[in-house]
Chains A and B, each alone.
Chain A
Amino acid sequence: MERKNFLKSLLVGSVSSSILLQACKKDADVTTTSTSTSGTTTGTTTGTSGSGTCSVIQTETDGPYPTKAPASYVRSDITDGRSGYKMTVSIAITNYNDNCNAVANALVDIWHCDAEGNYSEYGGSGSQSTNYQSVHFLRGRQTTNSAGVVTFTSIFPGWYTGRATHIHVHIYNASGTSLKVTQIAFPEGSGTALAAVGGYSKGFSGYTYNASDNVFSDGTSLEMASVTGNTTDGFALSIVMAVPA
């Protein structure tokens, strides 16, 4: 097609664009023509414009019928096929303002890097388009039970330059107000899970230990998890976190 003709066809489109715009405000499911018949509106769906324009109304089965879908963060197994030593994560939330009693119905988000030390993007970065099947591995959300506990299934995190091994945690109350953004630290030294995993393929050359980590260097007594298990059966991490709820 010649560019001139194409431009002309665009112009034709722009003449009726104000009408189109009006119609699209209400419902983009309709296509309008600029022939004005006197306001007879057809059909029972929402595509009535009522301003003297008539519309080609959707003429197939209505739908798809959407159903309420939780954020795809909401899941207990956050592995998404990442390879590594299996690790369960159990986090108990207690209330600093209420005798350290369990906090039920709190939202707990966790995220951490994979065995190589990489984070998932959230499904496409920047202005790139996202595949509808995209995943955001090693990120998840659970709601605490009556004992204040959430559990996740994941893998033992790797590490990256400048940081000790850690898991990010963001805790919200039931209505979504942020209570605490924090990180979980891992015990170090011989006999620990960290030593057993051995930093995965990177080893520990250039590793940042807790003492020199800029987040953990002020002390890890409250952020230190207990990690049991081995590389054959997997690991189990647990920690109790007190937050002002």
Chain B
Amino acid sequence: MGKSTIKLCYRKIIDSSATKPWDKFVLEDSYAEFRLQVQNFAQVKQYPSFAELVHEVPEAKKINQMVGPAITGYIQQLNEVVPDILNNLGRRFIKFKTYHFEIINSHFDQREKHQVAVSFFSEPMIWYGTIDNYLLLAPFGQETGEVLTHMMQLQPYLSIYSITEMA
């Protein structure tokens, strides 16, 4: 088969069940920022739920972007490596430079309703093939000779975001 260049997307969901320090920081700080920023919309008194607020005041969608800078510091602490997703040797290996933050649900008065997602978009990798439900991947830049690879299991919230067929 032909090789393809792919970018992966891992959509990391974080909610009140989070146990890991990074996840908890992101959840806490994005909630604190949400409560600050949502007050730019006076209607929040009437519609404390984020979904309702966006339904009534579509412009409130931009709260997603307004809250994003609350977690920039935590993104930088990842040192450009996607969290959670491991190769079959148990190591994180996916490099990223871009991400997207979004609020899935939230509520001005109910902290436990706060749920966010951070989607990480990988740097391009070469997809050599699929073995069982493992993708055989290699980072760019080692096109000649022996190519060092990673095997990664398909799993929920992980997807091939884009693909470019190689000649």
Mask: chain A, 57-69; 1 = CB below 8 Å from B; 0 = not: 1111000111111
Does A115 sit within 8 A of B, measured CB to CB? no
Q: Nearest Cβ in chain A — how far from B17, in angstroms?
A: 7
> Which one of A10-18, A214-222, A224-232 is at the B interface?
A10-18
When distances are taken between beta carbons in the complex, the residues of chain A under 8 Å from B88 are 31, 56
A-B contact count (CB 8 A): 153
Count chain B residues whose beta carbon lies closer than 8 angstroms to a beta carbon of A. Answer: 59
Q: Nearest Cβ in chain B — how far from A178, in angstroms?
A: 4
CA of A24 to CA of B73, assembled, Å: 25
> Which one of A124-132, A157-165, A201-209 is at the B interface?
A124-132
CA of A20 to CA of B92, assembled, Å: 18
Known contacts A2-B1, A64-B78; A46/B121 CB under 8 A? no
When distances are taken between beta carbons in the complex, the residues of chain B under 8 Å from A9 are 130, 132-133, 154
When distances are taken between beta carbons in the complex, the residues of chain B under 8 Å from A131 are 97-98
Tell me whether A20 and B91 are in contact (CB under 8 A): no
Q: Name which residue of chain B comes closest to A123, CB basis.
A: B68
When distances are taken between beta carbons in the complex, the residues of chain B under 8 Å from A69 are 25, 29, 72-74, 76-77
Tell me whether B156 and A67 are in contact (CB under 8 A): no
Mask: chain B, 23-41; 1 = CB below 8 Å from A; 0 = not: 0010001001101100110
Chain A interface SS verdict (over half)? loop
Please pick, from A5, A58, A67, A124, the residue contacting B68 in the complex, using a CB distance under 8 A: A124
Tell me whether B100 and A5 are in contact (CB under 8 A): no
Q: Nearest Cβ in chain B — how far from A163, in angstroms?
A: 17
Please pick, from A67, A125, A132, the residue contacting B80 in the complex, using a CB distance under 8 A: A132
Mask: chain A, 36-72; 1 = CB below 8 Å from B; 0 = not: 0000000000100000000011111000111111111
When distances are taken between beta carbons in the complex, the residues of chain A under 8 Å from B100 are 124, 127-130
Does B54 sit within 8 A of A, measured CB to CB? no
Shortest Cβ-Cβ A-B pairs, 6 listed: A69-B73, A59-B90, A178-B39, A122-B65, A13-B154, A28-B84
Q: A56-B90, A72-B70, A107-B36 are in contact. List 7 more A-B contacts (CB 8 A).
A: A1-B129, A20-B156, A60-B90, A122-B66, A170-B39, A172-B39, A176-B32
